[in-house]
Every structure is written in C-alpha cells, then in structure tokens.
Amino acid sequence: MNAAKRLEIFRRLHEDNPEPTTELAYETPFELLISVILSAQATDVGVNKATAKLYPVANTPEAIYALGVEGLSEYIKTIGLYNSKAKNVIETCRILIEKHGGQVPDNREDLEALPGVGRKTANVVLNTAFRQPTMAVDTHIFRVSNRTGIAPGKNVLEVEKKLLKFVPKEFLLDAHHWLILHGRYVCQARKPRCGSCRIEDLCEYKQKTSDD
C-alpha cells in the first residue's frame, strides 16, 4: 500500500470520528491502567460494568490496595480470570504506592514492570492517558492492518513497528482508536462488513465473499 492510500484512509477515519477514544470508562490515568489490566481476554462492556461498581468505592492505588485480593475479587468476579487479575492489580497498587508516590508512571519501562502490564497495556496507557504516539496492537488492529494492507506483519510487534512508520504523522496519536473501532464494528473477523466500509475502495483485501 502506498503513502497516498494510507493518508486517505486515515483522513476518512478522522472525518467520520474526529475525536476517537477508548470504550473503557475512566476518569484518571490510574483508572485507565486498572481497566486495561482487567480487559485482557474480556470485553470493554464487561469491564465497564465491574468498574462502575468498583471505582465509586475505590479508585486510587491506596483505596484498592486496602480492599485486598479477596475484597477486590468481589467487584471483578464477573470478569474472566478475575483471581489472577485481582492479584496483579493489588500488587500493582503496592508498587505504585511504594515506588511512584501513588502515580501512574508515564514511561514504558516502569509501566511494563507492573504485574499484569505487558507491551500492549503499556502502549494503551501511554497513548490514551499521556497522549504519546504509541501503537497498542490487539487482535482487531492486527487483523485490520494485515487485511487492508495498511501495515502487514507476521506478529504484533512487526505490525506495531510498521504502523508507527507508515501512519501519517498528523494521525498517529489517534490511529490506535480508529483501527480498533474499525476492526470491532466494520472489519470484523468472521465476516467483514465491506459493503458499508468507508475505506473499501482503498483496501487491498481481495477475498471478499459473494454476498458482501
């Protein structure tokens, strides 16, 4: 895919949604961090339902740490893998309190040192909370990048690096959200909705089914 196509793709995505953001509900960088940890192998809708009950009661490292693993588990037990996630969140809160003055660090090294925080989670926090030009590649972004030809790659890191290189600079801060939303609602895994896609004429996906 050439640069002109990529520019037009992101121009249209921007035109349709000028201020995209995560579908996770949050007010502070800390709330976002916890929600992203909880969202692994879970839906944003499911996480939001749990945090709607949790955050009014505890939405700081100190308050959640005070709940303990068992106390926190009661709020998040509707989310998959909640036992391991509760342990990670409590330990993360302890580290934030002891090493970072209760604040979420704004750099990759410190974020990835937190339990339950990998590269993707760190990228989400850096991009969404701190507005750094990072690219968190989830299954949606990986699929869209490969299927459309925007940034094909064999693994998530390869796709991430290509997106950072190929996405036009003026659209880089918000590209993560546009690609996730596009993959979630239009360029879906089993049956992409090509007929209602704004970038269909620019897409390099050739294997369209006969009823698209």
Q: At 23, is the secondary structure helix, strand, or coil?
A: coil
Distance (Å, whole) CA 96 – CA 150: 37
Yes or no: say if 51 and 32 are a contact pair by the CB < 8 Å rule.
Answer: no
CA 141, 116, 86, 132 dihedral sign is negative
Answer yes or no: is 194 a known binding residue: yes
DSSP annotation of 59: -
Tokens representing 168?
């036009």
Write down the catalytic residue from 110, 138, 154, 161: 138
Question: Distances in Å between the alpha carbon of 90 and those of 7, 26, 114, 136?
Answer: 43, 18, 10, 24
Answer yes or no: is 93 a known binding residue: no
Q: Which residues contact 169 (CB under 8 A, 6 or more apart)?
A: none
Would you call 99 a catalytic residue per the annotation?
no
Distance (Å, whole) CA 67 – CA 81: 18
User: What is the separation, in whole angstroms, between the first and last Cα of the chain?
Assistant: 22
Answer yes or no: is 187 a known binding residue: yes
Write down the catalytic residue from 16, 53, 106, 120: 120
Q: Which of 167, 84, 86, 180 is nearest to 133 (CA)?
A: 167
Binding-site annotation, residues for [4Fe-4S] cluster: 187, 194, 197, 203
**Which sequence positions are flagged as catalytic?**
120, 138
